Amino acid sequence: MRHWMGVPEASALTRVVITLAILAVPVLGLGTAGAARAAEESPGRDLITRSEERTESNTEKTTYRMELIGADGAVTQTRRLEVYFKRSEGVKRTLQKFLAPPVVESTGLLVEDTGAPVNDIWLYLPATRRLRRISGVEKSNWYMGTEFAFEDFEGYQIPYHDFTLVGDDECPEGGVCHLVEAVPASAQERGASGYSKKVYWIEAESLYPVRVDYYGEDGHRVKELTSGGLEREGDYWRPRTIEMRNFDNHHATRMVAEERAVDATLDDYYVTKRFLRSD
Amino acid sequence: MDRRTVFAVGLWISLGMVVAPAACAAAALPIDLGGYLENRSAYRIDDGLATSELRTTLQVELERAWGRWTADGVVRARYETKLEPETEEELDLRELVLTHRSRSATVRLGRQQVIWGKTDGLRLLDIVNPLDLRELLLDDYVDLRIPLWMANAEWFFGDQALQVLVIPDLTFDDLAKPGGEFYIAPDLPPAPVPVRVARTVEPASRPSSWEYGARWSGQAGPWELTANALYGWADDPVLFRRLEPGPVVRVEPRIPRRRTLGFSGDAPLGPGILRVEATYTPDAYRDVATLDGLGRPARQKLVSYALGWDWLRSSWLISPQVFQELVVDPSGDLLGEREQSFATLVLQRKLRQDRLTLRLFALHGLDNPETWISPKVSYQWLGRLELSLGADLFDGASDGLLGRFADRDRLVLDLTLRF
């Protein structure tokens, strides 16, 4: 059940934008603290900073088909959701709202990133019609039965990581990828994150992170995110599909972008608690 | 299951089969159609699994949006038997709301629910709508609340908002009837003479009797806060009584005015979220002692507060809460307790890509030890079918609020098809 303000629905679909993800839109950027760390130049940090500049838009809205995939490879549930993103006055807000199936319809999540290490998160459950605040400290929590954790929506978190360029390799869909290793730079980030290390595969031409390897506390690879079918959306590259594969439980979550609008006009309303709790 | 119940269940399933194609037809119209068909069966554990409730519900939800306007309607048809002496067949226009949203305000007119507060299980600030208490608080609040006709406007100023409610609909709690599974007899002192209970005196519906509410919400540092005020009526009657010639005790149930002020807030604390909520009402009634031994209700100042903490960790939710209610500066010699304290705990785990949910809710009286424990396991198929098996287990003294239902422990089976 969607509500649109001030614009007919059809035009809204063409002008609004977003993207969930992690890689689709790295949601955390350089805050004040980050500026100091960014100054500590290294090839890895420089590459990640340029990647963020090349991939992060001001507004975005994407409609996804989400498939939850079981250990046997079968799709256990197919969902549809809208993801809205807007950056304004130094705050990045991402709102996700499920459209289907009926058991999750109108369930939504709003993440507010002010540049602080911990985000503000609100969850709306239509079954209770209540907005519930969630602690951003527990970043490793799973999200809505998917293989994504809350921290996977945070993007690079540049101020709070050390980045090292570890080499080049062939990208999943061909071409050259630069591999950058990211490790938490502070005790707080190490304590909050479920990962000891991430390796970003940055595609050399687009600077888009087409693959991310996530490593657990004991150093083994726990998850892999791949972004496929890169296509040009205005000034940005965007993937058509995103797939998170979990090597521990052998489940996966695949997201296919069905409609997308980048840097179109997006009313603030769509990234507010007010919109989140409108069934 | 008797023949009538079988017939009713069959009827609703047939209706569901009608609704499904209707939903498909609605898909072609600019109308969002949703809802559910649900069957609930409850069985008394201490009575050889005798049926204690059979309920079939068909709820249809419609929404039509155009520009800044939205119209929502919720119609509920319900067949219910065994819970009370009389079978209930209900067709209810539960909600009908016309909404206008502008950049700085939302105005909602019609029959609706308004949800205040941040507590789970017990309510302090969630007082705008009366409740259907025929099944105590064993159902979800969204089903327990009785929607009211009202005007509900909210203005937004940056991070702050001001909500104003005007409620001409004077509807009160729906209480279980004598003989009902969860009937609570009026708490009257033992009288040596016959008792005659008069009809409940309810306020007349005129503007001076309407209910009015306001809520401010905003942020202060890490805190999200609200300040709330409701000039309303008590949801349940107060039992005034007097000795009349006969002699006979005449009981006159009356709904008194109730003013409530309160606030709520939440903020990160450690790895979780701290929730606080408090209310003050100068118009609560509690029985005090009288020379004739009948007792009488006297107006008291009542302070209530709750503290809760939510910790979401991996697939777990752990949420403890404490509640306390305190009569401040009692007027008269109170017949009941001056303080009442409760603790609640929610433990929830989601598994199998959120299709399987294990949940435990427990409520425990701290002053008069009594307990309600409600474990539940739910499983979803195909994104629209949900089966859940749960129990409601009561323990405590036979005159306690929960302990009196110790012989009403029950198993509850719900089957829900969402569309």
Judge contact between A41 and A160, C-beta under 8 A: no
- List residues of chain A with CB under 8 Å from any CB of chain B: 1-6, 8, 68, 70, 76-79, 100-105, 118, 127-130, 132-138, 140-142, 144-146, 251, 267, 269, 274, 278-279
- What are the chain B neighbours of A127 within 8 Å (beta carbons)? 140, 142
- What are the chain B neighbours of A274 within 8 Å (beta carbons)? 106, 156
CA distance A57 to chain B (A): 23
pLDDT at A33: 40
Q: How many CB atoms lie within 10 A of CB A3?
A: 18
Residue B330 has pLDDT above 60, yes or no: yes
pLDDT at B14: 56
Give residue-wise pLDDT tens across range A39-82.
457 899 999 999 999 999 999 999 999 999 999 999 999 999 99
Record: contact A128-B142, CB cut-off 8 A: yes
pLDDT at A114: 87
- Higher-pLDDT residue of B385, A40: B385
pLDDT above 90 coverage of chain A, percent? 68
Q: What is the pTM of this model?
A: 0.88
The arithmetic mean of pLDDT across residues B368-379, rounded, is 96
pLDDT at A34: 42
Q: Does B29 touch chain A (CB under 8 A)?
A: no
Residue A21 has pLDDT above 50, yes or no: no
Give residue-wise pLDDT tens across range B111-124.
999 999 999 889 99
Residue B172 has pLDDT above 70, yes or no: yes
The arithmetic mean of pLDDT across residues B212-234, rounded, is 97
pLDDT above 90 coverage of chain B, percent? 77
Residue B17 has pLDDT above 90, yes or no: no
- Higher-pLDDT residue of B229, B292: B229
pLDDT at B7: 53
- Kindly report the three-state secondary structure assignment for every residue of chain B: CCHHHHHHHHHHHHHHHHHHHHHHHHHCCCCEEEEEEEEEEEEEHHHCCEEEEEEEEEEEEEEEEECCEEEEEEEEEEEEECCCCCCEEEEEEEEEEEEEECCCEEEEEEEECCCCCCCCCCCCCCCCCCEECEEEECCCHHHHECCEEEEEEEEEECCEEEEEEEECCCCCCECCCCCCCCCCCCCCCCCCCCEEECCCECCCCCHHHCEEEEEEEEEECCEEEEEEEEEEECCCCEEEEEEECCCEEEEEEECCEEEEEEEEEEEEECCEEEEEEEEEEEEEEEEECCCCCCCEEEEEEEEEEEEEEEEEECCEEEEEEEEEEEEECCCCCECCCCEEEEEEEEEEEEECCCCEEEEEEEEEECCCCEEEEEEEEEEEECCCEEEEEEEEEEEECCCCCCHHHHHHCEEEEEEEEEC
Record: contact B353-A76, CB cut-off 8 A: yes
pLDDT at B185: 87
Q: Give the mutation candidate from A104, A137, A265, A277 for the B interface (greatest B CB count, under 10 A).
A: A137
In 3D, which of A123, A120, A185 has the Cα closest to residue A156? A185
CA distance B315 to chain A (A): 7
pLDDT at A15: 32
Record: contact A129-B113, CB cut-off 8 A: yes
The arithmetic mean of pLDDT across residues B184-193, rounded, is 78
Maximum separation of any 2 CA atoms in chain A, in Å: 52
pLDDT at A59: 96
pLDDT at A138: 78
pLDDT at A191: 83
Say which of B315, B353, B419 has its CB closest to residue A77: B353
* Residue B6 pLDDT grade (very low, low, confident, very high; cuts 50, 70, 90): low
* Residue B25 pLDDT grade (very low, low, confident, very high; cuts 50, 70, 90): low
Count A/B contacts: CB-CB distance under 8 Å: 101
- Higher-pLDDT residue of B18, B226: B226
Give residue-wise pLDDT tens across range A145-184.
999 998 898 889 899 999 999 999 999 999 999 999 999 9
pLDDT at A29: 33
Give residue-wise pLDDT tens across range B39-63.
999 999 988 999 999 999 999 999 9
- What are the chain B neighbours of A2 within 8 Å (beta carbons)? 65
Give residue-wise pLDDT tens across range B345-369.
999 999 999 999 999 999 999 988 9
Record: contact B63-A1, CB cut-off 8 A: yes
pLDDT at B28: 61
* Residue A274 pLDDT grade (very low, low, confident, very high; cuts 50, 70, 90): very high
Asked which of A205-209, B35-39, B96-100, B238-242 is least confident by mean pLDDT, the reply is B238-242
Residue B392 has pLDDT above 60, yes or no: yes
The arithmetic mean of pLDDT across residues A251-269, rounded, is 96
Closest-CA residue of chain B to A134 = B273
- Higher-pLDDT residue of B371, B249: B371
- Higher-pLDDT residue of A137, A274: A274
- What are the chain B neighbours of A3 within 8 Å (beta carbons)? 65, 70, 101
Q: Does B189 touch chain A (CB under 8 A)?
A: no
Give residue-wise pLDDT tens across range A73-110.
999 999 999 999 999 988 999 999 999 999 999 999 99
For A7, list phi and psi in degrees, rounded to 5.
-140, 145
CA distance B328 to chain A (A): 31
In 3D, which of B78, B74, B75, B62 has the Cα closest to residue B30? B62
Record: contact A103-B271, CB cut-off 8 A: no
Q: Give the mutation candidate from B312, B378, B415, B419 for the A interface (greatest A CB count, under 10 A).
A: B312
Closest-CA residue of chain B to A130 = B115
pLDDT at A141: 83
Record: contact A145-B224, CB cut-off 8 A: no
* Residue B4 pLDDT grade (very low, low, confident, very high; cuts 50, 70, 90): low
Q: Give the mutation candidate from B101, B104, B266, B381 for the A interface (greatest A CB count, under 10 A).
A: B101
Containing domain of residue A260, as a range? Answer: 4-277
Say which of A101, A105, A137 has its CB closest to residue B268: A137
Give residue-wise pLDDT tens across range A184-218.
998 888 888 889 999 999 999 999 999 999 999 89
Domain count, chain A: 1
CA distance B67 to chain A (A): 6
Say which of B36, B268, B354 has its CB closest to residue A145: B354
Indicate which CATH number applies to the domain containing A183. 2.50.20.10
* Residue B305 pLDDT grade (very low, low, confident, very high; cuts 50, 70, 90): very high
Record: contact A140-B314, CB cut-off 8 A: yes
